[in-house]
Amino acid sequence: MNIHPVKIGTLQAPNNIFLAPLAGYTNAVFRKICRDLGAGLTFTEMVSAKGLCYDNEKTKDLLFTAPEYEGIKACQLFGNDPAILLRAAQSEELAPFELIDINMGCPMPKIYNNGEGSALMAKPFLAAKIIEACKKSGKAVSVKFRIGLEKGKILAAEFAKVCEGAGADMITVHGRTRDKIYAGEVDFDAIAEAKMAVRIPVIANGGVFSKSDAETLLNKTGADGAAVARGAMYAPWIFAEICGNPMPDKKRLILNQIDDTKKYFGERFACVFMRKMCAFYLKGQPNCAAIRERLFKCATVEALKGIVENLTF
């Protein structure tokens, strides 16, 4: 495994294994866990540029970063208006962030049908204007997109050139078309074509659930790095595995995550969110269905911790 730093404009990530942004999951506590385990770069959840500009409190909550977080602070924005995205990038709320990642890959109908996310791949001129606008903020800018919108219409190389030409400092390429959502095989060749088309760093994304998956993705695409998405939801310690760092005490890590989530977000959020996370962490455990049923009946953090304390990871 070729682990090495990645230069992103004037910034430098300590290694090339990143945590991809995950809507509903990559909150401040989870980002810090992944960073501490070895992730070279983490991103906030997808944040609405319009929501920031119109003072939406729930949108602002997504930007919270733990005071003890170390490393590059990266925010993923979505939107389709260059002026609004520039306002968001220059906002006081984004002042602590050094990197803006523009979402041009989200496949979900609510985003796509609004002309945002992966819909921007069909409008390269507008996509370029958005990148150029965000660059005016003075921050480093990256773009995350898919290899195309549907089978037979692969746009990865062409869109990579659009991003580079507009000033992007890095791109992340998800190796599936929009219509596949998160299913199906990753198209290594399409990512490789994007890598060969530009000189900026190219991060490959899709299908990484183990160290061998990451090795395969990097070897078959020639990409400069790999971004882990759903694989981290099931096992954040995947970063220790890939980067060759010591494996954590998994039970202690999960209990600490529960405590820190309560500390920063309150009892109710911690209970609901960590029931969901613990259900992911149970994958492969004996009697996991029965344990999940008990987890989702927990009404307090202490009840949740009581179940975790009796598990073996």
Tell me the torsion sign for CA atoms 19, 186, 191, 113. Answer: negative
> 90-132 pLDDT, tens per residue?
999 999 999 999 999 999 999 999 999 999 999 999 999 999 9
To the query of whether residue 106 is one of the catalytic residues in this protein, the response is yes
Q: At 141, phi and psi to the nearest 5?
A: -130, 130
Any idea what DSSP says for residue 122? G
pLDDT of residue 20: 97
> 289-301 pLDDT, tens per residue?
899 999 999 999 9
Q: Any idea where the domains of the chain sit in the sequence?
A: 6-243, 250-309
Catalytic residue among 34, 75, 106, 298: 106
- 6-243 is a CATH 3.40.50.300 domain: no
Q: Which CATH number fits domain 250-309: 3.40.50, 1.10.1200, 1.20.120, 3.30.70?
A: 1.10.1200
pLDDT of residue 43: 98
Residues 97 and 132: their CA atoms lie apart, in Å, by 18
pLDDT of residue 181: 77
Q: Which of 138, 192, 125 is nearest to 165 (CA)?
A: 125
**pLDDT above 70 coverage of the chain, percent:** 100
> 10-30 pLDDT, tens per residue?
999 999 999 999 999 999 999
> Could you write out the DSSP letters of every residue in 206-254?
S---SHHHHHHHHHHH--SEEEESHHHHH-TTHHHHHHTPPPP-HHHHH
Helix (H, G, I), strand (E, B) or coil at 43: strand
> 267-311 pLDDT, tens per residue?
999 999 999 999 999 988 888 889 999 999 999 999 999 999 988
